[in-house]
């Protein structure tokens, strides 16, 4: 191992060369001979009965190969799409599980619901034919307004879920929390909306499939974050193709952020239809289709109350949330606003009592599921907003109030009142460092200077914690998860000494080909250019759970470490034989086996060669070959934590907000590659700021049309919306995984909305504004100022 490329080094990425020279291979890039092209006809209505669906004219159009409708799937006994996490409600009953047909049969339930699939010789011909499909819709009233979903008379989405209620779930003991509130010196109340987001990975979702008549094997290429999970769902629940007859490949994938975890109708159809069409099928979403059909994120309506004693110590927190599920339950939808949300409501604090009640609602909108952070940004937003509000109300410095309530570093492992046991952390030095870097002391002077220019300057904190590295299988299993959440690795040396490492994780921007190789290099001493990380293909990689929930390194990386240990253990036996020493006397360092206390040594490459050409080899005791598998199931979640400070200026004349300073100090445990970690944080911050200031999925409240259905109306963060960020680290290694790492993929997005909104509120307080919802667009901010002025005038 050299310091320049091992664990902790800033190693440039292996994957970059192909991406920078235009030689990456994304699904849409695949050259498939004799390919056909699919176009999906989507519902233009939020809620309608399909009275008649006539494909006869379309079927006769030029280039059309085949047209499939929901009825064809019923006839072929294709199963519905599934929700993989059973959440039990407060009475112990499993959540309501309305059917989710792959394509609509008699009812459409959101704008974008899939109605028919046209397969043609070209994409344009498929689209031409889709326009000729005649659908007679009987339009029904739609339930769009989340807050009104449970009202009497609200349009019903599924008969299986009366009152649009999927579950009424709770955690904590309500009576204890109420008792603490009764004794509180101060109660801070907060109503907020966590705005609905559209993920917008820059590569639109895509799928391609091919069926081999001779072997009966299917190959599905999909823009998936977890090809094995997709295969499992398609095989076991939806299509019934045996797992060994279905190969799922997720090649280069252009970002996911959660939206490419799930099993979708379109990729299912492409796979299913491939054998019926008898030619390969390709499909790539148009961006407007992505807007309508990718699973959306967030979308909560929440009321929260925090009880404090007279010194500002938190006594109890209670939270009521309505979470939007959309029209159907997507793959992990039920877990997001419960186990990934309410369990994080302790934040970094010693709040002794917490009660949360979450009601999941159906609406006639696109399904809602995990999006970068999944539940944890929503929790952090509640906690960090109410803490800052309490500080303002009690006239305590927001940093001071946080410090007062931090879990002390001596208290770890720390059991929160909401199920999680935090393994490690040290929060005060993080906020100190952030305040120093952000020059918190100098803020009031900067505020005054801004005022002289007519600007309102504000500063906001967000001290987040997240539980990631999903997940200890038995814990999540006891909570209703349908799968285990371990990860796998296979280290396969070739006879010439280079090595291929197969991982069940998947990289769609996270840089596994580099960081995983750094681990191998560090542990085994193999030069970086002799290491290949293989991922994304069920045919070549061991079963694994894919990448989401900042799990790749903490769980997948740990599996790799375990596999390196097996390689070393086996190698020692071979080396002992080659050096004519006792196994116990052999040690391994920097890629070389040595006999302790002597200068006898044999490099790993030579041991590998001997294992494949076992002429001089302990065949009686050791199998030939150098190929080891490992599975790693984490003992606990990992708990990254940090503090962000956002400083911004608002132009009160226009309502425009400009971020002028953004600081983030994180504890991600040990860091494998700081360059890559920083990149993850940058991207996360921008997505979080996007949520706070720009992004919002807007459906027309009466028709259910998606108004923010393209980049013309959905505000994407752009380069000129940001300054450069200031980042820093504090390290408390994770005590329970072999690398000591925590996850870094979601932190930026989890913390930043609260940092920004606290700064917005801080800036607007002097003009009397009490509350601004996200996104704090210029319009929204201007209206808030105007409202405060009106109120002051009355």
Partner 1 sequence: MSISVAMTVNGKAVSGKVEARTLLVQFLREHLGMTGTHVGCDTSQCGACVVDVDGKSVKSCTILAVQAEGSKVITIEGLAESPDKLHPMQEAFRENHALQCGFCTPGMVMSAIDMVKRHNYQLDEATVRRELEGNLCRCTGYHNIVKAILAAAPAMKSAGV
Partner 2 sequence: MYDFTYHRPKSVADAVKLLKDKPEARAMSGGMTLIPTLKQRLARPSDVVDLGAVKELSGIKIEGANVVIGGMTKHADVATSADVKAAIPALAHLAGHIGDPQVRNRGTIGGSVANNDPAADYPGAVVALNATVTTNSRKIPADEFFKGLFETALADGELITSISFPKAEKAAYMKFPNPASRYAMVGVFVAKTASGVRVAVTGAGGCVFRVKAMEDALAKNFSSAAIKDINIPADGLNSDIHGSAEYRAHLVGVMARRAVDAANK
Which x/- pattern over 286-305 shows residues binding partner 2 (rule: CB under 8 A)? --x-----------------
When the beta carbons of 62 and 415 are compared against partner 2, the nearer one is 62
For the chain, the distance separating the N- and C-terminal CA atoms, rounded to the nearest angstrom, is 72
**Which residues touch 485 (CB under 8 Å, ≥6 apart)?**
470, 471, 472, 473, 476, 545, 551, 555, 633, 634
Which x/- pattern over 497-516 shows residues binding ligand FES (rule: CB under 6 A)? ------------x-------
- The DSSP annotation for 558-571 comes to HHHHHHHHHHHHHH
**Which residues touch 100 (CB under 8 Å, ≥6 apart)?**
80, 81, 82, 83, 328, 329
Among 350, 473, 783, 789, binds partner 2 (CB under 8 A): 783
When the beta carbons of 88 and 682 are compared against partner 1, the nearer one is 682
Among 63, 80, 255, 728, binds ligand FES (CB under 6 A): 255
Please state the φ and ψ torsions of residue 359, each to the nearest 5 degrees.
Answer: -110, 125
When the beta carbons of 612 and 782 are compared against partner 2, the nearer one is 782
Instruction: Please count the other Cβ atoms lying within 10 Å of the Cβ belonging to residue 621.
Output: 11
Q: How far is the CB of 284 from ligand FES (least distance, A)?
A: 12
By the 10 Å C-beta count (0-12 exposed, 13-18 middle, 19+ buried), 453 is classed as exposed
Q: How far is the CB of 722 from partner 1 (least distance, A)?
A: 6
Q: Which residue from 781, 756, 659 is spatially nearest to 380, judged by alpha carbons? A: 756
3-state SS, residue 457:
strand
793 makes contact with partner 2 (CB under 8 A): no
Please state the φ and ψ torsions of residue 318, each to the nearest 5 degrees.
Answer: -130, 145
Please state the φ and ψ torsions of residue 232, each to the nearest 5 degrees.
Answer: -60, -45
Which x/- pattern over 318-357 shows residues binding partner 2 (rule: CB under 8 A)? ----------------------------------------
Q: Which does 163 bind (CB under 5 to 8 A by kind): ligand FES, partner 2, partner 1, none?
A: none
Q: How far is the CB of 198 from partner 2 (least distance, A)?
A: 12
- Output the six-digit token pair for 312: 């500002």
653 makes contact with partner 2 (CB under 8 A): yes
Q: Which does 510 bind (CB under 5 to 8 A by kind): partner 2, ligand FES, partner 1, none?
A: partner 1
Query: Quick one: CA torsion of 574, 579, 583, 589, rounded to 10 degrees?
Result: -80
Which x/- pattern over 488-517 shows residues binding partner 1 (rule: CB under 8 A)? --------------------xxxx------
When the beta carbons of 547 and 780 are compared against partner 2, the nearer one is 780
Among 4, 33, 175, 202, binds ligand FES (CB under 6 A): 202
Which x/- pattern over 665-704 shows residues binding partner 2 (rule: CB under 8 A)? -----------------------------x-x-x------
- Output the six-digit token pair for 18: 């192909």
252 makes contact with partner 1 (CB under 8 A): yes
Q: Which does 26 bind (CB under 5 to 8 A by kind): ligand FES, partner 2, partner 1, none?
A: partner 1
3-state SS, residue 233:
helix
644, 464 Cβ separation under 8 angstroms: yes
Residues 129-158 that bind partner 2 (CB under 8 A): 131
Contacts 24+ apart (CB under 8 A), 569-573: 570/611, 570/622, 570/626, 570/628, 571/604, 571/607, 571/608, 571/626, 573/618, 573/621, 573/622
When the beta carbons of 98 and 199 are compared against ligand FES, the nearer one is 199
The stretch among 453-461, 511-519, 549-557, 707-715 that binds partner 2 (CB under 8 A) is: 707-715
The stretch among 450-458, 541-549, 627-635, 710-718 that binds partner 2 (CB under 8 A) is: 710-718
Among 12, 185, 716, 731, binds partner 2 (CB under 8 A): 716
When the beta carbons of 20 and 76 are compared against ligand FES, the nearer one is 20
The stretch among 216-224, 274-282, 404-412, 652-660 that binds partner 2 (CB under 8 A) is: 652-660
Q: Which does 186 bind (CB under 5 to 8 A by kind): partner 2, ligand FES, partner 1, none?
A: none
707 makes contact with partner 2 (CB under 8 A): yes
19 makes contact with partner 2 (CB under 8 A): no
507, 492 Cβ separation under 8 angstroms: no
When the beta carbons of 58 and 201 are compared against partner 1, the nearer one is 201
Q: How far is the CB of 223 from partner 1 (least distance, A)?
A: 10
By the 10 Å C-beta count (0-12 exposed, 13-18 middle, 19+ buried), 393 is classed as middle
Query: Quick one: CA torsion of 247, 252, 257, 260, rounded to 10 degrees?
Result: -30
- The DSSP annotation for 20-31 comes to HTT---BGGG--
What is the distance between the alpha carbons of residues 760 and 285, in angstroms, rounded to a whole number?
37
What are the start-end ranges of the E strands in 292-389?
Answer: 300-308, 314-326, 353-362
Please state the φ and ψ torsions of residue 62, each to the nearest 5 degrees.
Answer: -60, 135
Among 748, 755, 757, 784, binds partner 1 (CB under 8 A): 748
124 makes contact with partner 2 (CB under 8 A): yes
Q: Which does 463 bind (CB under 5 to 8 A by kind): ligand FES, partner 2, partner 1, none?
A: none
543 makes contact with partner 2 (CB under 8 A): no
When the beta carbons of 133 and 681 are compared against ligand FES, the nearer one is 681
Residues 656-685 that bind partner 1 (CB under 8 A): 675-676, 678-685
Q: How many residues make contact with partner 2 (CB under 8 A)?
A: 24
By the 10 Å C-beta count (0-12 exposed, 13-18 middle, 19+ buried), 758 is classed as buried
Q: How far is the CB of 510 from partner 1 (least distance, A)?
A: 7
Q: In what order do the strands lie in the sheet with 246-249?
A: 64-69, 114-120, 36-42, 281-284, 206-212, 217-222, 246-249
Please state the φ and ψ torsions of residue 302, each to the nearest 5 degrees.
Answer: -135, 140
- The DSSP annotation for 468-485 comes to BS---HHHHHHTTBSS--
Give the β-pairing of 353-362 and 314-326: parallel
The stretch among 125-133, 212-220, 359-367, 468-476 that binds partner 2 (CB under 8 A) is: 125-133
708 makes contact with partner 2 (CB under 8 A): yes
Number of Cα atoms under 13 Å in the Cβ half of residue 409: 10
Give the 3-state secondary structure percentages of the chain, helix then strand then coil, rounded to 5.
30, 25, 45
Q: Which residues would be at the binding site for partner 2 (CB under 8 A)?
A: 124, 127-128, 131, 288, 653-655, 694, 696, 698, 707-708, 711-716, 777-779, 782-783
Q: Which residues would be at the binding site for ligand FES (CB under 6 A)?
A: 202, 254-255, 509
Q: Which residues would be at the binding site for partner 1 (CB under 8 A)?
A: 12-13, 15-26, 28-29, 31, 124, 200-204, 252-255, 257, 284, 286-288, 508-511, 675-676, 678-687, 710-712, 716-720, 722, 724-725, 748
């Amino acid at each position: 191992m050299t310091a320049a490329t091992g664990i902790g080094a800033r190693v440039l990425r292996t994957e970059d060369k192909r991406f920078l020279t235009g030689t990456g291979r994304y699904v849409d890039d695949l050259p498939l001979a004799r390919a056909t092209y699919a176009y999906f006809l989507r519902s233009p209505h939020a809620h309608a009965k399909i009275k008649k669906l006539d494909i006869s004219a379309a079927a006769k159009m030029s280039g059309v190969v085949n047209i499939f409708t929901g009825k064809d799937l019923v006839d072929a006994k294709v199963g519905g799409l599934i929700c993989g996490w059973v959440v039990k409600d407060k009475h112990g009953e499993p959540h309501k599980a309305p059917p989710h047909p792959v394509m609509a049969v008699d009812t459409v339930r959101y704008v974008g619901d899939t109605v028919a699939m046209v397969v043609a010789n070209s994409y344009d011909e498929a689209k031409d034919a889709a326009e000729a499909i005649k659908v007679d819709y009987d339009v029904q009233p739609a339930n769009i307004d989340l807050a009104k979903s449970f009202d009497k008379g609200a349009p019903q989405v599924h008969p299986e879920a009366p009152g649009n209620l999927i579950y009424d779930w709770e955690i904590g003991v309500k009576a204890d929390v109420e008792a603490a509130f009764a004794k509180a010196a101060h109660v801070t109340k907060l109503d907020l909306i966590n705005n609905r987001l559209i993920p917008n990975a820059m590569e639109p979702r895509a799928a391609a499939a091919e069926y081999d008549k001779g072997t009966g094997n299917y190959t599905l290429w999909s823009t998936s974050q977890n090809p094995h999970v997709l295969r499992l769902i398609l095989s076991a629940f939806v299509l019934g193709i045996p797992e060994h007859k279905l190969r799922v490949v997720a090649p280069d994938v252009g970002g996911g952020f959660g939206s490419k975890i799930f099993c979708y109708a379109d990729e299912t159809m492409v796979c299913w239809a491939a054998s019926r069409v008898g030619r390969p099928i390709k499909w790539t979403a148009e961006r407007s289709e992505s807007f309508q059909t990718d699973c959306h994120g967030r979308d909560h309506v929440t009321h929260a109350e925090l009880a404090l004693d007279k010194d500002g110590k938190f006594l109890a927190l209670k939270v009521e949330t309505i979470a939007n599920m959309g029209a159907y339950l997507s793959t992990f939808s039920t877990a997001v606003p419960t186990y990934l949300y309410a369990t994080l409501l302790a934040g970094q604090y010693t709040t002794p009592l917490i009660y949360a009640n979450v009601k999941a609602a159906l609406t006639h909108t696109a399904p809602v599921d995990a999006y970068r952070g999944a539940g944890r940004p929503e929790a952090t937003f509640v906690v960090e907003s109410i803490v800052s509000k309490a500080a303002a109300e009690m006239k305590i410095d927001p940093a001071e109030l946080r410090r007062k309530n931090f879990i002390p570093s001596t208290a770890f492992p720390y059991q929160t009142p909401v199920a999680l046991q935090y393994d490690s952390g040290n929060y005060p030095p993080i906020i100190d460092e952030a305040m120093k870097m952000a020059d918190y002391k100098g803020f009031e002077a900067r505020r005054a200077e801004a005022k002289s220019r007519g600007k309102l300057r504000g500063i906001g904190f967000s001290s987040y914690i997240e539980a990631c590295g999903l997940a200890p299988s038995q814990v999540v299993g006891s909570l209703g998860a349908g799968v285990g959440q371990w990860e796998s690795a296979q280290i396969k040396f070739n006879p010439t000494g280079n090595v291929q490492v197969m991982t069940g994780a998947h990289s769609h921007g996270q840089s596994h080909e580099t960081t995983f190789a750094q681990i191998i290099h560090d542990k085994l001493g193999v030069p970086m250019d002799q290491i290949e990380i293989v991922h994304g293909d069920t045919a070549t990689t061991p079963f694994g759970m894919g990448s989401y929930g900042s799990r790749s390194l903490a769980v997948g990386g740990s599996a790799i470490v375990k596999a390196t240990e097996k390689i070393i253990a086996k190698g020692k036996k071979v080396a002992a034989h080659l050096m004519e020493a006792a196994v116990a006397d052999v040690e391994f360092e920097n890629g070389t086996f040595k006999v302790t206390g002597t200068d006898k040594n044999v490099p790993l490459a030579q041991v590998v060669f001997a294992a494949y050409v076992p002429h001089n080899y302990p065949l009686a005791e050791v199998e030939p070959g150098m190929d080891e598998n490992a599975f790693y199931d984490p003992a606990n979640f990992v708990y990254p934590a940090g503090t962000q400070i956002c400083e911004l200026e608002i132009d009160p004349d226009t309502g425009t907000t400009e971020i002028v300073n953004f600081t983030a100090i994180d504890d991600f445990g040990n860091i494998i590659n700081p360059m890559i970690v920083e990149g993850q944080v940058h991207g996360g911050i921008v997505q979080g700021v996007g949520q706070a200031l720009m992004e919002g999925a807007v459906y027309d409240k009466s028709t259910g049309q998606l108004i923010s259905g393209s980049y013309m109306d959905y505000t994407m963060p752009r380069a000129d919306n940001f300054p450069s960020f200031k980042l820093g680290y504090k390290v408390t290694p994770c005590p329970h995984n072999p690398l000591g790492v925590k996850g870094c993929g979601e932190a930026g997005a989890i913390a930043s909305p609260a940092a920004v909104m606290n700064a917005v509120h801080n800036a607007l307080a002097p003009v009397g504004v009490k509350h601004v919802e996200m996104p704090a667009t210029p319009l929204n901010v201007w209206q808030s100022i105007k409202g405060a002025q009106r109120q002051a005038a009355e």
